[in-house]
Amino acid sequence: MALGTYVLSRANHNAKAAFLQRLDSMATNKDGRKWWNKTAPAGEQQSPWYNATRNVNIEISAYAALALLENNLVGDALPVLNWLMDQRNSKGGFVASQDTVVGLQALLMFAERFSSQGNNLQIGFHYGEGAETIINVNAENSLALQTVELPNNLKNLSVSATGRGMAFAQVSYQYNTNVTSAWPRFVLDPTVNRNSHADYLHLSACASFVSVVGEAEQRSNMAVMEVQLPSGFVVDRDTLPTLESSERIKKVETQNRNTKVVIYFDYLDRREVCPTLHAYKTVKVTKHRPVAVVMYDYYDNARRARQFYRAPKSNICDICEHANCGDLCEKAEKRESKRPDDYTAIAGHSSSADLKAIPLVLVATALLILFNTLSC
């Protein structure tokens, strides 16, 4: 609906007014913000993923904002633009690539129409006991993203601005929550095969889509599997072309110096697919922690699941090269003999709990996009 309204507005079609009216009737309005939600099945609406920022909602709302701006309805577009800016991450983007492109396009259209070449602003961030950081925004740096890292134990922050022009100040923070989702949309089963050893990982990650009552679609959109490898391991890239030729696999890529594998599927349904990865240890590491495999719908990140698996067994004897290895190895072998011989996934659910909530990052950014400030 939002995309169709934008296309009709670009073409100046006679039906654009009726589409705008219907689109507005479908919006959600709260606290001076306006956005559009893609309706989920009743059984899924209590999912913590459904209540988080969804890329599909960002894309719909961005197209709605473009349609409103195309019709010069700036007053109606402002609440939508404010909601879009609330959803941005600390780097200025959104959830995925496609919603980021459309979201930034909407913000850019507004900035092009209402930005000023005479920007000269001083934005102050005040925190702690008299602590202050000033950011200058002028014509020379107005397109640059400026950031200030704030203390992670910060409780209060005030922002002030003086001068003339337009800028956008954003406070971003990140934390983990102790939530176990009871609504996984994929069955996910990573298994470390028995021929794995301390220096070699043979991992099979089987997955399928879970349909729910009330949902017409019996398969996902394009799905993405992200496989994080244990510390010290890198994937065998020579085996990836074979994986890429497998059924329903569209593309395979690596990230973080071949320590993470991202697999794109055309779609997933109830039929199970089991991509297999081969990885080798290139850095001597022991005492591995569980690592995650994440599965999600590319166009609706509320559809997701996560499962953990353990690396092949290793102990200090595998990496020790010093004279005292004898004593260390003897103690390590005794401890390892008590550990269950279990290479399979350790999480009991396809969408497992995060760590205890711990504040990680608090970043303030100033970016030329919004708000015309005249001597604050």
Question: 190 and 329 share a domain?
Answer: yes
* 229 within some domain: yes
In a domain, 196, yes or no: yes
**Residue 207 and residue 327 in one domain:** yes
- Sign of the Cα pseudo-torsion (217, 219, 221, 224, in order): positive
What is the C-alpha separation between 1 and 20, in angstroms, rounded? 9
Residue 103 in domain: yes
pLDDT tens digits for 146-173? 888 888 888 889 999 999 888 888 888 8
What pLDDT, on the 0 to 100 scale, is given for residue 335? 59
Note whether residue 215 is domain-resident: yes
pLDDT digits (tens, 9 = 90+) for 10-43: 999 999 999 999 999 999 999 999 999 887 666 6
pLDDT at 175 over 80: no
Which residues have CB under 8 Å from 174's CB, separation 6+? 90, 359, 360, 361
pLDDT in tens, 299-308: 888 788 889 9
Question: Looking at residue 356, what is its pLDDT?
Answer: 34
Is 261 a member of any domain?
Answer: yes
CATH number at residue 214: 2.60.40.690
Query: What is the rounded distance in angstroms from the CA atom of residue 181 to the CA atom of residue 174?
Result: 19
Sequence-distant (≥ 6) Cβ neighbours of residue 350 within 8 angstroms: 184, 186, 187, 188, 305, 306, 307
Same-domain status, 216 and 255: yes
Question: Are 153 and 59 in the same domain?
Answer: no
Domain with 96 in it: what CATH number? 1.50.10.20
Q: Do residues 125 and 159 touch, judged by C-beta distance below 8 A?
A: yes
Residue 220 has pLDDT above 70, yes or no: yes
Indicate if 101 and 126 belong to the same structural domain.
Answer: no
Average pLDDT, the chain: 82
Percent of the chain with pLDDT over 70: 78
Two structure tokens written together for 213: 């009552």
Residue 345 predicted with pLDDT over 60: no
Confidence of residue 331 (pLDDT cuts 50, 70, 90): low
Residues 203 and 134 in one domain: no
pLDDT of 214 reads 65
262 lies in the same domain as 313: yes
Q: Are strands 120-127 and 33-35 parallel, antiparallel or unpaired?
A: unpaired
pLDDT at 125: 92
Do 17 and 69 belong to one domain? yes
User: Do 108 and 207 fall into the same domain?
Assistant: no
- pLDDT category of residue 363 using cuts at 50, 70 and 90: very low
- Would you give the distance in Å from CA 119 to the centre of its chain? 33
Quick check: 369 pLDDT over 50? no
Residue 353 has pLDDT above 70, yes or no: no
Is the torsion defined by CA of 356, 361, 362, 368 positive or negative?
negative
Polymer length of the chain: 376
SS (H, E, C) the chain: CHHHHHHHHHCCCCCHHHHHHHHHHCCEEECCEEECCCCCCHHHCCCCCCCCCCHHHHHHHHHHHHHHHHCCCHHHHHHHHHHHHHCCCCCCCCCCHHHHHHHHHHHHHHHHHHCCCCCEEEEEEEECCCEEEEEEEECCCCCCCEEEECCCCCCCEEEEEEEEEEEEEEEEEEECCCCCCCCCCEEEEEEECCCCECCEEEEEEEEEECCCCCCCCCCCCCEEEEEECCCCEEECHHHHHHHHCCCCEEEEEEECCCCEEEEEECCCCCCCECCEEEEEECCCCCCCCCEEEEEEECCEEEEEEEEEECCCCCCHHHCCCCCCHHHHHHHHHHHHHCCCCCCEECCCCCECCCCCCCEEEEEEEEEEEEEEEECC
Same domain, 104 and 128: no
**pTM attached to this predicted model:** 0.64
Q: What number is the average pLDDT over the span 125-137?
A: 89
Q: What is the mean pLDDT of residues 201-210?
A: 95
**Nearest residue to 175 (alpha-carbon basis) of 57, 52, 85, 290:** 52
Residue 253, in any domain of the structure: yes
Q: What pLDDT is stored for residue 8 in this prediction?
A: 95
Is residue 154 in a domain? yes
Q: Is residue 204 part of a domain?
A: yes
Q: Which domain holds residue 41?
A: 2-114
Judgement on whether residues 6 and 72 belong to the same structural domain of the protein: yes
- Asked whether residue 361 carries a pLDDT value surpassing 60, the answer given is no
Task: Assess whether 107 and 51 both reside in one domain.
Answer: yes
Q: How many folded domains does the chain comprise?
A: 3
Sign of CA dihedral 96, 102, 106, 112: positive
Please state, in angstroms and rounded to a whole number, the distance separating the CA atoms of residues 162 and 179: 42
- Count the Cβ atoms, other than its own, within 10 Å of residue 272: 12
